[in-house]
Structure 1
Amino acid sequence: MAVDDTAEGFTEAVDLADLREEGRTLTAVDGTPIALFYHEGEVRAVNNRCPHMGFPLTEGSVEEGVLTCHWHHARFELSCGDTFDPWADDVDTYPTEVRDGVVYVSPEPQRAEPPEIHWRDRLDDGLEQNLRLVLAKSAVALLDSGVDPAEIVERGVTFGVRNRADGWSSGLTILTALANRLPDLDEQDRKRALYQGLTEVAGDCDGEAPKFDQEAFAATDVSVERLRSWFRENVEVRDADGAERVLRTAVAAGYDPEKLTELLVAAATDHRYLDTGHAFDYVNKATEALDLVGWDDEERTAEVLSSLVRGLATADRAEETASWRQPDDLAAMCAETFGRLDDLVAAGEGETWTEPDDFTERLHAADPEMVFDALEGAIRSGATVEQLASAVSFAAAKRVALFATSNEFADWNTVHHTFTFANAVHRAAERTDATALYRGVFDAAVNVYLDRFLNTPPAPEATGDPDADPEAALESLRMAFEQQGRVQQAGDAVADFLAAGGDPDRLKAELGNALLVEDTNFHTFQAYEAACRQFDRRAADAGSAGSGEGVTDDQRDCLVAAARYMAANYPTRRSREQTFSIAARLLRGERVDAAEDAEPSDAGVSADD
Structure 2
Amino acid sequence: MSSTDRFREVVPVDELERAGRVQTTVDGRSLALFHHEGEVRVVDNRCPHMGFPLSQGSVEDGVLTCHWHHARFELSCGDTFDPWADDVRTFPVEVRDGSVYVDPHPEPDAPPAEHWSTRLEDGLEQNLRLVVAKSAIGLVDAGVSEDEITERGVRFGARYRESGWGPGLTILAAMRNVLSDLAAEDRKRALYQGLVHVGDDCAGEPPRFDQEPFDTDDVPFARLKEWFRENVEVRDADGAERVLRTAIANGADDARLAEMLAAAATDHRYLDAGHALDFVNKACEALDRVGWEHAGAVLPSLVDGLAAASRAEETSSWRQPVDLAAMLEGTFSDLDSLVAEGSESNWSAPDGFTETLLAEDPDAVVEALEDAIRGGASVEALAGEVAFAAATRVARFATVNEFSDWNTVHHTFTYANAVHQLARRTESTDLYRGVFDAAANVYLDRFLNTPPAPLPDPASDPDADPSAHLDALVETFDAEGEVNEAGERAAHFLDCGGDAALLRERLGAALLREDAGFHTYQALEAGFAQARLREDPEEIRTLLVAVARYLGAHFPTRREREQTFTIAARLQRGEKLHVDGGSE
How is 1:486-525 mapped onto 2 (pairs within 5 angstroms)?
486-525=482-521
Of 238, 241, 255, the residue aligned with 1:241 is: 238
455-464 vs 125-134, greater mean Cα deviation: 455-464
Equivalent residue, structure 1, for 2:134: 137
How is 1:366-381 mapped onto 2 (pairs within 5 angstroms)?
366-381=360-375
1:556-603 deviation line (CA, Å, top 9, x unaligned): 1000000000000000000000000000001111111239xx99xxxx
Alignment partner of 1:107 is 2:104 = yes
Paired residue type of 1:355 = A
Unaligned runs of 5+ in 2: none
Equivalent residue, structure 2, for 1:28: 25
Alignment partner of 1:593 is 2:578 = yes
How is 1:353-432 mapped onto 2 (pairs within 5 angstroms)?
353-432=347-426
How is 1:201-600 mapped onto 2 (pairs within 5 angstroms)?
201-295=198-292, 297=293, 300-465=294-459, 466-539=462-535, 552-594=537-579
CA distance in 1 between partners of 2:444 and 2:567 (Å): 45
TM-score by length of 1: 0.94
Equivalent residue, structure 2, for 1:156: 153
1:471-515 deviation line (CA, Å, top 9, x unaligned): 110121011101000000000001000010001111000000000
In 2, are the aligned partners of 1:366 and 1:449 still within 8 Å (CA)? yes
CA distance in 2 between partners of 1:181 and 1:580 (Å): 19
Equivalent residue, structure 1, for 2:187: 190
Residue 399 of structure 1 aligns to a residue whose secondary structure is helix
In 2, are the aligned partners of 1:524 and 1:566 still within 8 Å (CA)? yes
Equivalent residue, structure 2, for 1:82: 79
State the shift of 1:110 in Å: 6.2
In structure 2, the CA distance between the partners of 1:17 and 1:475, relative to structure 1 (3 Å rule), is same
CA distance in 1 between partners of 2:333 and 2:132 (Å): 50
State the shift of 1:111 in Å: 4.2
Alignment partner of 1:199 is 2:193 = no
Residue 101 of structure 2 aligns to a residue whose secondary structure is strand
CA distance in 1 between partners of 2:163 and 2:464 (Å): 50
CA distance in 2 between partners of 1:372 and 1:50 (Å): 64
Residue 117 of structure 2 aligns to a residue whose secondary structure is helix
CA distance in 1 between partners of 2:239 and 2:88 (Å): 49
CA distance in 1 between partners of 2:503 and 2:252 (Å): 40
Paired residue type of 1:284 = N
363-372 vs 460-469, greater mean Cα deviation: 460-469
CA distance in 1 between partners of 2:66 and 2:435 (Å): 59
CA distance in 2 between partners of 1:520 and 1:303 (Å): 28
In 2, are the aligned partners of 1:402 and 1:459 still within 8 Å (CA)? yes
State the shift of 1:248 in Å: 0.2
Equivalent residue, structure 2, for 1:545: none
Paired residue type of 1:403 = F
Unaligned runs of 5+ in 1: 543-551, 600-609
Paired residue type of 1:309 = V
In 2, are the aligned partners of 1:318 and 1:324 still within 8 Å (CA)? yes
Residue 26 of structure 1 aligns to a residue whose secondary structure is strand
Residue 579 of structure 2 aligns to a residue whose secondary structure is coil
State the shift of 1:463 in Å: 3.6
CA distance in 1 between partners of 2:436 and 2:296 (Å): 29
1:65-115 deviation line (CA, Å, top 9, x unaligned): 000000000000000000000000000000111111011100134643221
1:527-584 deviation line (CA, Å, top 9, x unaligned): 0000001000013xx5xxxxxxxxx111110000000000000000000000000000
Residue 338 of structure 2 aligns to a residue whose secondary structure is helix
State the shift of 1:6 in Å: 8.2
CA distance in 1 between partners of 2:46 and 2:553 (Å): 41
Of 90, 93, 106, the residue aligned with 2:90 is: 93
In 2, are the aligned partners of 1:94 and 1:110 still within 8 Å (CA)? no
In structure 2, the CA distance between the partners of 1:463 and 1:532, relative to structure 1 (3 Å rule), is farther
Residue 568 of structure 2 aligns to a residue whose secondary structure is helix
CA distance in 1 between partners of 2:109 and 2:208 (Å): 36
State the shift of 1:400 in Å: 0.2
CA distance in 2 between partners of 1:500 and 1:133 (Å): 41
Residue 44 of structure 1 aligns to a residue whose secondary structure is strand
State the shift of 1:163 in Å: 0.3
CA distance in 2 between partners of 1:9 and 1:467 (Å): 63
In structure 2, the CA distance between the partners of 1:84 and 1:6, relative to structure 1 (3 Å rule), is closer
Residue 519 of structure 2 aligns to a residue whose secondary structure is helix
264-273 vs 110-119, greater mean Cα deviation: 110-119
Paired residue type of 1:260 = L
CA distance in 1 between partners of 2:312 and 2:85 (Å): 47
State the shift of 1:8 in Å: 2.2
CA RMSD in angstroms, aligned pairs only: 1.3
CA distance in 2 between partners of 1:509 and 1:206 (Å): 31
CA distance in 1 between partners of 2:458 and 2:205 (Å): 48
In 2, are the aligned partners of 1:464 and 1:498 still within 8 Å (CA)? no
1:218-276 deviation line (CA, Å, top 9, x unaligned): 01221010001100000000000000000000000111111111111110000000000
Paired residue type of 1:521 = G
Deviating beyond 6 angstroms after TM superposition, the runs of 4 or more aligned structure 1 residues are none
CA distance in 1 between partners of 2:190 and 2:122 (Å): 19
Paired residue type of 1:273 = Y
Of 59, 62, 65, the residue aligned with 1:62 is: 59
Residue 37 of structure 1 aligns to a residue whose secondary structure is strand
1:326-377 deviation line (CA, Å, top 9, x unaligned): 1111000110000000000000011000111200000011010000011000
State the shift of 1:146 in Å: 1.3
CA distance in 2 between partners of 1:30 and 1:169 (Å): 48
In 2, are the aligned partners of 1:93 and 1:110 still within 8 Å (CA)? no
CA distance in 1 between partners of 2:42 and 2:161 (Å): 42
Paired residue type of 2:226 = S
Identical positions, percent: 64
454-463 vs 187-196, greater mean Cα deviation: 454-463
TM-score by length of 2: 0.98
Equivalent residue, structure 2, for 1:125: 122
In 2, are the aligned partners of 1:464 and 1:497 still within 8 Å (CA)? no
CA distance in 2 between partners of 1:254 and 1:587 (Å): 43
CA distance in 2 between partners of 1:351 and 1:156 (Å): 45
